[in-house]
Amino acid sequence: MHFVTSVLAVLAGATLAAADCTATSAVPTCAVPCITSAASAIGCGQTDYACQCSSSDALVSTALNCVIGNCGIITALQVESAAKAVCTACA
């Protein structure tokens, strides 16, 4: 479970809706509503990658159960590399 939390911490930058950051397209669509909702709940804009990447603890605590519920544990784990790419490319 700790690994899943680490994976979702990286999701902080995965807002998924920005046309200017193609890295978001690699994040599974099942996680999109969870991440978008969590970003909003912690006060980050939908495309504010810097905010999301720097607020990963709050985003994780808000999105974790939703992502696992929507995507399943295997897909949630596969999000790791995509989320890292989003924070690297977009934040």
Residue 17 to residue 73: CA distance in whole angstroms:
23
Residue 66 to residue 54: CA distance in whole angstroms:
20
Residue ranges for the known binding site for heme are 48
Residue ranges for the known binding site are 48
Residue 4 to residue 91: CA distance in whole angstroms:
21
